[in-house]
Structure 1
Amino acid sequence: MQTIPLDTVMRALADPTRRALFERVATAREITVMELTQGSGVTQGAISQHLKSLKQAGLVAERPEGRRVFYRAQPEGLEPLFDWMTHYGVFWRERFANLRELLQETEND
Protein backbone atom coordinates (compact mmCIF):
# COMPACT_ATOMS: atom_id res chain seq x y z
CA MET A 1 0.00 0.00 0.00
CA GLN A 2 1.23 3.46 -0.91
CA THR A 3 1.75 5.83 2.02
CA ILE A 4 -0.47 8.89 1.73
CA PRO A 5 1.03 12.22 2.90
CA LEU A 6 -0.20 13.51 6.26
CA ASP A 7 -1.37 16.76 4.64
CA THR A 8 -3.71 14.83 2.35
CA VAL A 9 -5.28 12.94 5.26
CA MET A 10 -5.63 16.11 7.36
CA ARG A 11 -7.13 18.06 4.46
CA ALA A 12 -9.67 15.29 3.83
CA LEU A 13 -10.75 15.24 7.48
CA ALA A 14 -10.70 19.02 7.92
CA ASP A 15 -14.12 19.43 6.33
CA PRO A 16 -16.88 18.74 8.90
CA THR A 17 -19.25 17.24 6.31
CA ARG A 18 -16.53 14.92 5.01
CA ARG A 19 -15.57 13.96 8.58
CA ALA A 20 -19.20 13.08 9.35
CA LEU A 21 -19.37 11.09 6.13
CA PHE A 22 -16.21 9.19 7.06
CA GLU A 23 -17.71 8.40 10.47
CA ARG A 24 -20.85 7.00 8.81
CA VAL A 25 -18.76 4.85 6.47
CA ALA A 26 -16.59 3.69 9.38
CA THR A 27 -19.60 2.56 11.42
CA ALA A 28 -21.06 0.58 8.50
CA ARG A 29 -19.55 -2.60 7.17
CA GLU A 30 -20.22 -1.32 3.64
CA ILE A 31 -22.49 1.45 2.44
CA THR A 32 -23.62 2.91 -0.89
CA VAL A 33 -23.75 6.54 -1.99
CA MET A 34 -27.55 6.30 -2.01
CA GLU A 35 -27.59 5.16 1.63
CA LEU A 36 -25.16 7.93 2.58
CA THR A 37 -27.31 10.52 0.81
CA GLN A 38 -30.54 9.54 2.60
CA GLY A 39 -31.19 11.85 5.53
CA SER A 40 -27.86 13.66 5.15
CA GLY A 41 -29.18 16.94 3.75
CA VAL A 42 -26.40 16.77 1.14
CA THR A 43 -26.84 16.04 -2.57
CA GLN A 44 -25.71 12.77 -4.10
CA GLY A 45 -23.18 14.71 -6.21
CA ALA A 46 -21.68 16.32 -3.10
CA ILE A 47 -21.50 12.94 -1.33
CA SER A 48 -19.67 11.50 -4.35
CA GLN A 49 -17.18 14.38 -4.32
CA HIS A 50 -16.53 13.93 -0.61
CA LEU A 51 -16.05 10.19 -1.11
CA LYS A 52 -13.57 10.93 -3.89
CA SER A 53 -11.50 13.07 -1.49
CA LEU A 54 -11.68 10.39 1.22
CA LYS A 55 -10.64 7.76 -1.31
CA GLN A 56 -7.67 9.84 -2.52
CA ALA A 57 -6.62 10.23 1.13
CA GLY A 58 -6.68 6.45 1.54
CA LEU A 59 -9.51 6.62 4.09
CA VAL A 60 -12.15 4.69 2.14
CA ALA A 61 -12.14 1.95 -0.49
CA GLU A 62 -14.82 1.09 -3.00
CA ARG A 63 -16.17 -2.20 -4.30
CA PRO A 64 -18.30 -2.08 -7.45
CA GLU A 65 -21.11 -4.60 -7.71
CA GLY A 66 -23.18 -4.23 -10.85
CA ARG A 67 -24.47 -0.66 -10.99
CA ARG A 68 -23.85 -0.02 -7.30
CA VAL A 69 -20.63 0.87 -5.57
CA PHE A 70 -20.07 -0.06 -1.93
CA TYR A 71 -17.74 1.96 0.29
CA ARG A 72 -15.92 0.80 3.39
CA ALA A 73 -13.48 2.49 5.75
CA GLN A 74 -9.76 1.88 5.38
CA PRO A 75 -8.47 2.15 8.98
CA GLU A 76 -4.86 2.00 7.80
CA GLY A 77 -5.51 5.31 6.02
CA LEU A 78 -5.43 6.99 9.43
CA GLU A 79 -1.89 5.75 10.06
CA PRO A 80 -0.10 9.00 9.02
CA LEU A 81 -2.36 10.97 11.39
CA PHE A 82 -1.87 8.43 14.18
CA ASP A 83 1.93 8.54 13.76
CA TRP A 84 1.93 12.35 13.85
CA MET A 85 -0.28 12.45 16.95
CA THR A 86 1.85 9.80 18.68
CA HIS A 87 4.99 11.85 18.05
CA TYR A 88 3.45 15.00 19.51
CA GLY A 89 1.80 13.08 22.34
CA VAL A 90 5.25 12.07 23.57
CA PHE A 91 6.49 15.63 23.08
CA TRP A 92 3.67 17.16 25.15
CA ARG A 93 3.79 14.52 27.90
CA GLU A 94 7.48 15.34 28.38
CA ARG A 95 6.75 19.08 28.48
CA PHE A 96 3.95 18.63 31.02
CA ALA A 97 6.20 16.44 33.19
CA ASN A 98 8.86 19.17 33.13
CA LEU A 99 6.27 21.79 34.03
CA ARG A 100 4.99 19.63 36.90
CA GLU A 101 8.55 19.30 38.27
CA LEU A 102 9.14 23.04 37.96
CA LEU A 103 5.90 23.83 39.80
CA GLN A 104 6.76 21.36 42.58
CA GLU A 105 10.20 22.94 42.96
CA THR A 106 8.60 26.40 43.12
CA GLU A 107 6.16 25.25 45.82
CA ASN A 108 9.01 23.81 47.90
CA ASP A 109 11.05 27.04 47.80
Structure 2
Amino acid sequence: MTPILKSFAALSDETRLMIVDQLITEGELPAGDLAPGAGISAPAISRHLKVLREAGLVTQRADGTRRLYSARPEGLRMIAEWTQSRRTFWEGSLKRLEAALMEDGA
Protein backbone atom coordinates (compact mmCIF):
# COMPACT_ATOMS: atom_id res chain seq x y z
CA MET A 1 0.00 0.00 0.00
CA THR A 2 1.39 3.42 -0.89
CA PRO A 3 1.99 5.96 1.91
CA ILE A 4 -0.93 8.15 0.82
CA LEU A 5 -3.29 5.17 0.79
CA LYS A 6 -2.10 4.12 4.25
CA SER A 7 -2.75 7.65 5.50
CA PHE A 8 -6.26 7.83 4.09
CA ALA A 9 -7.05 4.30 5.29
CA ALA A 10 -5.87 5.21 8.79
CA LEU A 11 -7.90 8.43 8.85
CA SER A 12 -11.03 6.76 7.47
CA ASP A 13 -11.79 5.56 10.99
CA GLU A 14 -13.66 8.14 13.06
CA THR A 15 -11.72 7.39 16.25
CA ARG A 16 -8.33 7.68 14.56
CA LEU A 17 -9.33 10.94 12.89
CA MET A 18 -10.46 12.23 16.28
CA ILE A 19 -7.11 11.22 17.83
CA VAL A 20 -5.10 13.00 15.13
CA ASP A 21 -7.28 16.09 15.43
CA GLN A 22 -6.83 16.09 19.20
CA LEU A 23 -3.04 15.81 18.84
CA ILE A 24 -2.98 18.65 16.32
CA THR A 25 -5.10 20.84 18.59
CA GLU A 26 -3.62 20.01 22.00
CA GLY A 27 -0.08 18.93 21.15
CA GLU A 28 1.79 15.98 22.62
CA LEU A 29 -0.32 13.79 24.92
CA PRO A 30 -0.09 10.48 26.76
CA ALA A 31 -2.30 7.71 25.42
CA GLY A 32 -4.54 7.94 28.48
CA ASP A 33 -5.52 11.50 27.59
CA LEU A 34 -6.56 10.66 24.04
CA ALA A 35 -10.24 10.52 23.13
CA PRO A 36 -11.54 10.96 26.69
CA GLY A 37 -15.23 10.38 27.02
CA ALA A 38 -15.37 8.37 23.81
CA GLY A 39 -15.83 5.17 25.79
CA ILE A 40 -12.77 3.54 24.24
CA SER A 41 -10.67 1.10 26.22
CA ALA A 42 -6.92 1.55 26.65
CA PRO A 43 -6.16 -1.50 24.44
CA ALA A 44 -8.40 -0.08 21.69
CA ILE A 45 -6.61 3.29 21.85
CA SER A 46 -3.29 1.43 21.60
CA ARG A 47 -4.46 -0.41 18.48
CA HIS A 48 -5.60 2.86 16.88
CA LEU A 49 -2.28 4.52 17.74
CA LYS A 50 -0.39 1.61 16.18
CA VAL A 51 -2.29 2.08 12.91
CA LEU A 52 -1.59 5.82 12.99
CA ARG A 53 2.13 5.25 13.71
CA GLU A 54 2.40 2.72 10.87
CA ALA A 55 0.74 5.23 8.53
CA GLY A 56 3.29 7.86 9.55
CA LEU A 57 0.70 10.21 11.02
CA VAL A 58 1.77 10.16 14.68
CA THR A 59 5.01 9.65 16.57
CA GLN A 60 5.63 8.12 19.95
CA ARG A 61 8.33 8.88 22.49
CA ALA A 62 9.06 7.43 25.89
CA ASP A 63 9.06 9.60 29.00
CA GLY A 64 9.90 7.20 31.81
CA THR A 65 7.07 4.68 31.84
CA ARG A 66 4.73 6.90 29.85
CA ARG A 67 4.38 6.93 26.07
CA LEU A 68 3.70 10.37 24.62
CA TYR A 69 2.14 10.83 21.20
CA SER A 70 2.18 13.74 18.80
CA ALA A 71 0.95 14.45 15.29
CA ARG A 72 3.67 13.97 12.67
CA PRO A 73 3.76 17.08 10.43
CA GLU A 74 5.47 15.25 7.55
CA GLY A 75 2.70 12.68 7.31
CA LEU A 76 -0.01 15.29 7.48
CA ARG A 77 1.82 17.49 4.97
CA MET A 78 1.72 14.63 2.47
CA ILE A 79 -2.10 14.59 2.69
CA ALA A 80 -2.28 18.38 2.35
CA GLU A 81 0.00 18.33 -0.69
CA TRP A 82 -2.02 15.57 -2.35
CA THR A 83 -5.24 17.51 -1.71
CA GLN A 84 -3.77 20.75 -3.07
CA SER A 85 -2.51 18.95 -6.18
CA ARG A 86 -6.14 18.06 -6.97
CA ARG A 87 -7.32 21.63 -6.49
CA THR A 88 -7.29 22.39 -10.23
CA PHE A 89 -9.58 19.44 -10.86
CA TRP A 90 -12.11 20.56 -8.25
CA GLU A 91 -12.03 24.19 -9.28
CA GLY A 92 -12.57 23.24 -12.93
CA SER A 93 -15.41 20.91 -12.00
CA LEU A 94 -17.11 23.56 -9.90
CA LYS A 95 -16.76 26.15 -12.66
CA ARG A 96 -18.34 23.74 -15.17
CA LEU A 97 -21.15 23.05 -12.72
CA GLU A 98 -21.70 26.77 -12.19
CA ALA A 99 -21.80 27.34 -15.98
CA ALA A 100 -24.29 24.51 -16.44
CA LEU A 101 -26.51 25.89 -13.69
CA MET A 102 -26.37 29.37 -15.18
CA GLU A 103 -27.38 27.95 -18.59
CA ASP A 104 -30.32 26.09 -17.08
CA GLY A 105 -31.40 29.18 -15.16
CA ALA A 106 -31.21 31.47 -18.20
- TM > 0.5 between the two? yes
2:23–2:69 contact (8 Å) kept in structure 1: yes
107 and 40 in structure 1: CA distance in 2 versus 1, 3 angstrom threshold: closer
Partner of residue 82, structure 2: 84
How big is each residue's C-alpha offset from its partner over 1:25-66, in whole Å with a ceiling of 9 and x where there is no partner? Answer: 222221111222643310000001101111111111111011
What amino acid is aligned across from residue 48 of structure 1 in structure 2? Answer: S
Partner of residue 37, structure 2: 39
- Could you say which structure has the larger radius of gyration? 1
Counterpart among 61, 64, 81 of residue 63 in structure 1: 61
Superposed CA RMSD: 2.2
- What percentage of aligned pairs have identical amino acids? 35
**Partner-residue secondary structure (3-state), 1:58:** coil
Q: C-alpha distance in 1, partners of 2:19/2:3?
A: 21
Tell me the TM-score normalised to structure 1 length.
Answer: 0.80
Q: C-alpha distance in 1, partners of 2:54/2:9?
A: 11
Which sits farther off after the overlay, 93-102 or 82-91? 93-102
Which sits farther off after the overlay, 72-81 or 45-54? 72-81
103 and 22 in structure 1: CA distance in 2 versus 1, 3 angstrom threshold: closer
Q: C-alpha distance in 1, partners of 2:100/2:26?
A: 48
Structure 1's unaligned 5+ residue stretches are: none
**Partner-residue secondary structure (3-state), 1:61:** strand
The alpha-carbon deviation at position 80 of structure 1 amounts to 2.6
Counterpart among 20, 23, 27 of residue 21 in structure 2: 23
Which sits farther off after the overlay, 32-41 or 66-75? 32-41
